Amino acid sequence: MCPNHCFWRHGSKTISSHGESKVELRHFSVPGIQILWETIRVVMSRQIGVQRQIVLLFIIGQLCAVLPALAQQQETQQPVPAPSDPQTANTKDGKENKDKSGQTLGKSKLEKETGTVNDRIFEVLPNYGTVENAGELPPLTSGQKFRLATAGVFDWGAYPFNGALSAIAQAKNDPKAWGQGWDAYGKRYGASFADNSIGTYMTTAIFPSLLREDPRYYQLGRGRLVHRAYHGINRLFVTRTDSGHDHFNYSESIGNAVAAAISNIYHVPEDRTASRNASTFAFLILYDGMSNELKEFWPDIRRKVFHKNTP
């Protein structure tokens, strides 16, 4: 769920019918992790487009680079104590506030209203809808869910990211029906932006409002590495309701399926196939799983790699 709100749901959501790549990946004994890697194997074995593979492999590479180091410190990490005066207490650098329960609070009005913090991944990628150090929060209104989706869709980081994906598609002449030139680039950029926007609104605002589900990602934040990794994958299939209970994540599955179906309207006829739609749906689920993993471990990466204790 973009997650969009993502660590980031903002990558092109349409799977190209050109190009083929085969990747062999390790399997893990944890059921949730095994499901994720099996999905990676299936999606990468399909014709999904070089630009999507580059984005996916970049995310996987970043996780593989930092997770071994993080594993060495998971058992020794302690929860951050709550400040004695939540109205005036700040961290040493003055960039992070915490409430009386130790929850990390964002800076903007939207973050404070929704209990989230836009702790940008690698200092660039938007991270709306992520909750740090909080167990229970008041339910979001439909308006707040739509505001979270809108913030993610129109974040400044979305524009260059979609531009890069469109440039790669242009270089690969994908799809061929659009040809070359600035007009063709505009079509590819528009399709990429539409894919991102529709997917984010479907899984963050529309279906969570209709089904009364909570689209926020609640970081586990502590415990064993494998346990936290499983938590990120598990959130693809289990989510909180507005009443605070857990049930199947209908918004993730139905929202992504609807987004893949709607993309047929503005993509070229040769891409309007059942196979392409199935590949798109699988990639959306996989992409959200990777996003959840980055949301879960980004605070650790920020502290260990970038030496920053606050967002």
* pLDDT in 10s for each residue of the chain, 311 residues: 444 444 444 344 444 444 444 444 444 444 445 555 555 555 455 445 555 555 555 555 555 544 554 444 444 444 444 444 434 334 444 444 555 445 555 678 999 899 998 888 888 888 889 998 777 889 999 999 999 999 999 999 889 989 998 999 999 998 899 999 999 999 999 999 998 899 999 999 999 999 999 999 999 988 899 999 999 999 999 999 999 999 999 999 999 999 999 999 998 998 888 888 888 888 888 888 999 999 999 989 988 988 888 77
> What's the total number of domains in the chain?
1
> What secondary structure does DSSP assign to 135-163, as a single string?
S--PPPPHHHHHHHHHHHHT-TTHHHHHH
19 inside domain = no
278 inside domain = yes
* pLDDT of amino acid 258: 96
* pLDDT of amino acid 271: 85
* pLDDT of amino acid 156: 92
15 inside domain = no
Closest Cα to residue 288, out of 248, 236, 224, 244?
236
Letter string b/e over residues 175-189, b meaning 16 or more CB atoms within 10 A of that residue's CB: beebeeeeebbebbb
* pLDDT of amino acid 124: 86
4 inside domain = no
* pLDDT of amino acid 202: 96
Write out the two tokens for 17. Answer: 């019918």
Q: Which domain holds residue 145?
A: 31-76+94-304
85 inside domain = no
Residue 84: count other Cβ atoms within 10 Å of its Cβ. 8
12 inside domain = no
pTM of the model: 0.69
70 inside domain = yes
Write out the two tokens for 181. Answer: 């030139």
